[in-house]
């Protein structure tokens, strides 16, 4: 395509994680002059940063990997049913190297601002290295969980030992032997960390504010013979993922909850509890997500399983949630987490009863006394989904910032566009089909749709696109309606946009962050929009548009 002196790139992608890697692959295949700006020193996103002990998939590995390349499917051998962080990062590098994508990526380039220039209909981007870049189309492939939040307690900087958020776990090996370790938090990340390090540290003290439901991961190795069998049925695997609500291999039980006896339900749950991954969550009856009575029954079942694994009845009760039911939010999968609390070197501190007052030079002080540590690990969550957008100064028409527009709750069209922010795409944005599903299955749908929309733009020599306010309003109303039928609306989680460590987040106030209609409905909807010449998107002609896109060989 012909170059223009006022453009550095036709398209700039922000983020070199799972979504950004696939997005730049599609753009390069189109012959588009594009680049990826990545804040970190290398690619990988989530799997580059999260190096804490126990970090691994909760999706079956072979359903998490990309599906777009038969070569990759044939050549890559997953070693575990639920692969760990080192192998996951190795996989993403393998994909990038396979298609020579690294040459199209720029590292240590944190985007500070992206401002839409209305007079020229271009995006002006400022990067942390001092450069200013211009592009026509901006694609934000930002991580859903890439803005860690620290607890709002005094003295965090006073601690004289070693401390970090799990997201910033040191890249070098950390020797935990004989160390007194404090872990603040019992969310999904903490659950992985605690289960992994309990038998490796001297003493472990866990500070819990609210417990989370958990279920066993039941991980296992994948033998060469098993991998051959998986390769032979990849088409079937991805077809199954495409028709399930969450994009996993686990299909819901189509029988009605009340059509079977309680005895049959418990027999099913006993079977599912011992199966790998999300079986107990996603192969369950659909009513557990929408019906209070059905959810209460599965919650009581899982509570009994927890009591059966934790020896101290008082500790067991503290580990059972009372403020929400099982499965109304993504279930943390664990290996040895509950059994960790049976160890003599592990202590649970309930900070709902004895709150943390401050971090001291030697450890953590609660209302009940002081705890001394060598290492403090903050597993205190993320400013999820919108947080990574909020940390960039993104301005659309009339100087409106995206953070201002989304302060109460995000509003989008299909989760991939925002009215008032022209030529901006988010293949895995809030309210898209990615946030609440098996992420790579969702991002492939999003990236493919965004790429095909750009092909439509270029084929018709159009230079400008923007979601209409009406289309954005309709989609957001649909997202809100989907929340109304789900029990998740009652939980305090990142699915409802709650994090007590973030300004503006209030308990009980729902921010509509994810799409709850399921993968098949979402894919059908975005396909229908495309089939109707991208109904809901306003296009315009532009004399500055390149007249030709070179197709890659």
3-state DSSP of 329-370? CCCCEECCHHHHCCCCCEEEEECCCCCEEEECCCEEEECCEE
Question: Which of 234, 221, 279, 219 has the alpha carbon at shortest distance from 252?
Answer: 279
Nearest to 88 by CA among 45, 133, 124, 128: 45
List phi, psi (to 5°) of 185: 120, 150
The token duo for 323 is: 């403020």
Please compute Rg for the chain using Cα positions.
24
Q: What is the DSSP letter of 531?
A: H
Q: Is the dihedral of CA 268, 269, 275, 278 positive or negative?
A: positive
| CA gap 273, 290 in Å, rounded | 21
Task: Count CB neighbours of 279 within 10 A.
Answer: 20
pTM confidence score: 0.94
For residue 247 the two structure tokens come to 């994009």
Rounded distance, CA 28 to CA 99, Å? 10
- Structure confidence at residue 553 (pLDDT): 34
Contact 338, 310 (CB under 8 A): yes
Contacts of 453 (CB under 8 A, 6+ apart): 425, 465, 530, 534, 537
Tokens of 370: 């002081």
Cβ density class 227-264: b for 16+ within 10 Å, e for less: beebbeebeebbebbeebbbbbbbebbeeebeeeeeee
Tell me the β-bridge partners of 111: 127
Going by the DSSP 8-state scheme, the letter that residue 489 receives in this structure is: G
Residue by residue, pLDDT tens for the chain (553 residues) are: 334 557 999 999 999 999 999 999 999 999 999 999 999 999 999 999 999 999 999 999 999 999 999 999 999 999 999 999 999 999 999 999 999 999 999 999 999 999 999 999 999 999 999 999 999 999 999 988 899 999 999 999 999 999 999 999 999 999 999 999 999 999 999 999 999 999 999 999 999 999 999 999 999 999 999 999 999 999 999 999 999 999 999 999 999 999 999 999 999 999 999 999 999 999 999 999 999 999 999 999 999 999 999 999 999 999 999 999 999 988 999 999 999 999 999 999 999 999 999 999 999 999 999 999 999 999 999 998 899 999 999 999 999 999 999 998 999 999 999 999 999 999 999 999 887 789 999 999 999 999 999 999 999 999 899 999 999 999 999 999 988 876 666 666 655 655 566 666 666 677 888 898 899 999 999 999 999 999 999 998 753 444 333 333 3
Tokens 């398209």 belong to 11
- Report the C-alpha gap between 515 and 518 in whole angstroms: 7
- CA-wise closest residue to 351 among 333, 335, 371: 371
Instruction: Give the integer Cα–Cα distance in Å for 190 and 196.
Output: 10
C-alpha–C-alpha distance, residues 207 and 194, integer Å: 11
Specify which residues 304 forms β-bridges with. Answer: none
What are the backbone dihedrals phi and psi of residue 53, each rounded to the nearest 5 degrees, phi first?
A: -60, 130
Cβ neighbours for 187, distance < 8 A, ≥ 6 positions apart: 212, 332, 379, 380, 381
Separation CA 375–CA 35 (nearest Å) = 40
* Alpha helix segments (H runs only) across 344-468: 387-390, 402-405, 439-459
According to DSSP, the residues that pair with 376 across neighbouring strands are 163, 182
- Give the Cα separation of 116 and 124 in Å (integer): 6
Buried b (16+ CB within 10 A) or exposed e, 422-436: bbbbbbbbbbbbbbb
pLDDT at 498: 56
Q: What is the pLDDT of residue 253?
A: 95
């Amino acid at each position: 395509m012909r170059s223009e002196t006022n453009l550095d790139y036709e398209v700039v992608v922000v983020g070199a994680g799972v979504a950004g890697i696939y997005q730049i692959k599609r753009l390069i295949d189109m012959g588009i002059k594009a680049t990826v700006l990545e804040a970190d020193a290398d690619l990988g996103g989530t799997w580059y940063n999260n190096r804490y002990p126990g970090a691994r998939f909760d999706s079956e590995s072979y359903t998490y990997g990309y599906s777009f390349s038969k070569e990759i499917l044939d050549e890559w051998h997953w070693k575990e049913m639920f692969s760990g962080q080192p192998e996951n990062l190795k996989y993403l590098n393998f994909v990038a190297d396979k298609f020579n994508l690294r040459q199209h990526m720029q590292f240590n380039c944190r985007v500070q601002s992206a401002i839409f220039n209305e007079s020229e209909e271009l995006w002006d981007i400022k990067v942390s290295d001092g450069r200013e870049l211009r592009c026509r189309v901006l694609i934000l492939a930002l991580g859903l969980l890439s803005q860690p939040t620290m607890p709002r307690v005094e003295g965090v900087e006073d601690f004289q030992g070693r401390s970090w958020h799990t997201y910033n776990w040191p890249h070098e090996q950390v020797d935990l032997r004989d160390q007194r370790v404090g872990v603040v938090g019992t969310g999904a990340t903490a659950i992985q960390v605690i289960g992994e390090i309990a038998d490796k540290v001297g003493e472990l003290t866990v500070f819990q504010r609210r417990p989370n439901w958990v279920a066993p991961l039941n991980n296992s190795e994948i033998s060469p013979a098993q991998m051959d069998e998986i390769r032979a049925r990849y088409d079937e695997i991805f077809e199954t993922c495409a028709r399930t609500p969450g994009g996993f291999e686990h299909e819901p039980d189509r029988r009605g909850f009340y059509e079977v006896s309680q005895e049959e339900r418990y027999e099913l749950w006993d079977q599912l509890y011992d199966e790998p991954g999300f079986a107990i969550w996603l192969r369950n009856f659909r009513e557990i997500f929408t019906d209070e009575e059905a959810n209460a029954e599965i919650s009581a079942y899982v509570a009994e399983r927890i009591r059966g694994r934790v020896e101290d009845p008082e500790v067991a009760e503290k580990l059972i949630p009372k403020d929400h039911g099982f499965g109304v939010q993504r279930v943390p999968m664990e290996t040895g987490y509950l059994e960790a609390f049976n160890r003599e070197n592990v202590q649970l501190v309930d900070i709902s009863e004895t709150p943390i007052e401050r971090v001291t030079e030697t450890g953590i002080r609660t209302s009940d006394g002081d705890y001394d540590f060598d290492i403090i690990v903050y597993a205190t969550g993320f400013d999820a989904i919108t947080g990574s957008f909020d940390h960039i100064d993104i301005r659309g028409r009339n100087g409106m910032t995206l953070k201002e527009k989304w302060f109460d709750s995000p509003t989008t069209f299909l989760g991939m566009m925002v009215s008032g922010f022209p030529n901006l795409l988010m293949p895995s944005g809030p309210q898209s089909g990615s946030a609440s599903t098996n992420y790579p299955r969702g991002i492939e749908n999003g990236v493919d749709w965004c790429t095909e929309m750009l092909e439509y733009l270029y084929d018709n020599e159009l230079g400008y696109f923007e979601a209409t306010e009406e289309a954005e309003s309709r989609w957001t109303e649909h997202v809100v309606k989907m929340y109304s039928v789900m029990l998740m609306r009652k939980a305090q989680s990142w699915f409802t946009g709650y994090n007590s460590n973030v300004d503006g987040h209030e308990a009980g106030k729902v921010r509509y962050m994810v799409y709850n209609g399921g993968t098949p409905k979402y894919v059908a909807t975005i396909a229908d929009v495309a089939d109707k010449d991208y109904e809901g998107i306003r296009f315009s002609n532009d004399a500055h548009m390149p007249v030709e896109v070179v197709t890659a060989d």
